[in-house]
């Protein structure tokens, strides 16, 4: 509910989330709902790319040309292209010699893919890989994972959206949004489906026992709760190491083969890369 559009109270009051972390079909339904509810479709032009963009100094306007030959003049032009608009497709040697099917997480087909009884290889253990692997493993006859760099993984704790939590947030969305903007790191304040207080204590100022209990509370809540963290974990290497060591202990507790566990140990400061969510 916190990772949702905040520019329309009608939208956030009317939409009902079914899960804590919605899957792709529900996110698509949500986007369609927003487009219809706010009448945005008339202002959206699909299957169009901007071929050129020039600022006319004399007129003080942007001149855009599309790949369809259309010319557009605008006083303001916002390039909301983001950083993920172009998939990164590695040029693996001899990839064209592979006779099986190849899928890219950023170019997934609209129709479902059935891996039942297949031999599957997943290259990469980033956020997409970590979320794919458990689901593919349920179907595939054999799954081989290729990893270059291990990362820190925390449980997502996904579940059906508690009705009382959804109702509580909707009744207090104004306060939630204010706190997300001004009293949080990354816009996340929920811990165990409760609004948590801004963390002001430092990891190095509390006892080891208190620090462990605090990390346990984040582990039990899961997901983005780890960003609601001791401030010095983000800026002090010694403080950062306390959380990194905690998460490495969790890896060793879950992975029984010590040799495999060693290969899954990140060796960089935690939270310097995106935390990955374990969905099973």
The pLDDT score that the predictor gives to residue 273 is 92
* Alpha-carbon separation of residue 157 from 123, 222, 261 (angstroms): 25, 6, 22
State pTM to two decimals. 0.85
Task: Give the Å distances, CA to CA, from 243 to 3, 219, 238.
Answer: 24, 11, 9
Q: Is-contact 112 259, C-beta < 8 A?
A: no
Residue 64, H or E segment: strand 61-66
The confidence score (pLDDT) of residue 100 equals: 94
Q: State the 10-residue block means of pLDDT for the chain, 280 residues long.
A: 92 96 94 98 94 96 96 95 85 91 92 95 93 94 96 93 94 92 79 82 98 96 88 96 98 94 96 87
Contact 216, 250 (CB under 8 A): no
First to last CA, the chain: 22
Alpha-carbon span 136 to 124, nearest angstrom: 14
Q: Buried (b) or exposed (e) across 156-178, using 16+ Cβ within 10 A?
A: bbbeebeeebbebbbeebeebbe
Distance from C-alpha of 63 to C-alpha of 112, rounded to nearest angstrom: 41
């Amino acid at each position: 509910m916190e990772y949702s559009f905040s520019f329309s109270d009608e939208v956030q009051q009317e939409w009902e989330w079914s899960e804590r972390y919605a899957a792709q079909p529900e996110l698509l339904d949500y986007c369609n709902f927003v487009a219809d509810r706010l009448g945005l479709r008339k202002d959206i032009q699909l299957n169009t790319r901007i071929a050129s963009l020039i600022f006319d100094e004399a007129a003080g306007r942007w001149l855009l040309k599309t790949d369809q030959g259309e010319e557009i003049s605008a006083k303001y032009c916002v390039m909301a292209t983001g950083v993920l608009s172009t998939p990164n497709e590695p040029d693996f040697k001899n990839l064209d010699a592979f006779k099986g099917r190849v899928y890219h997480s950023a170019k997934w087909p609209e129709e479902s893919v059935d891996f039942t009884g297949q031999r599957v290889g997943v290259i990469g253990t980033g956020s997409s890989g970590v979320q794919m692997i458990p689901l593919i493993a349920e179907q595939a006859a054999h799954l081989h994972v290729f990893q270059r760099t291990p990362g820190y993984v925390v449980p997502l704790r996904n579940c059906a959206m508690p009705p009382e939590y959804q109702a509580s947030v909707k009744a207090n969305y104004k306060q939630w949004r204010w706190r997300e903007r001004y009293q949080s790191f990354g816009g996340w304040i929920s811990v165990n489906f409760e609004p948590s207080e801004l963390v002001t204590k430092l990891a190095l100022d509390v006892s080891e026992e208190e620090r462990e209990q605090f990390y346990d509370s984040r582990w039990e809540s899961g997901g983005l709760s780890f960003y609601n963290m001791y401030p010095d974990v983000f800026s002090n290497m010694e403080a950062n190491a306390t959380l990194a060591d905690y998460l490495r202990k969790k890896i060793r507790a879950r992975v029984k083969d010590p040799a495999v566990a060693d290969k899954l140990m990140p060796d960089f400061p935690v939270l310097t890369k995106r935390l990955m969510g374990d969905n099973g």
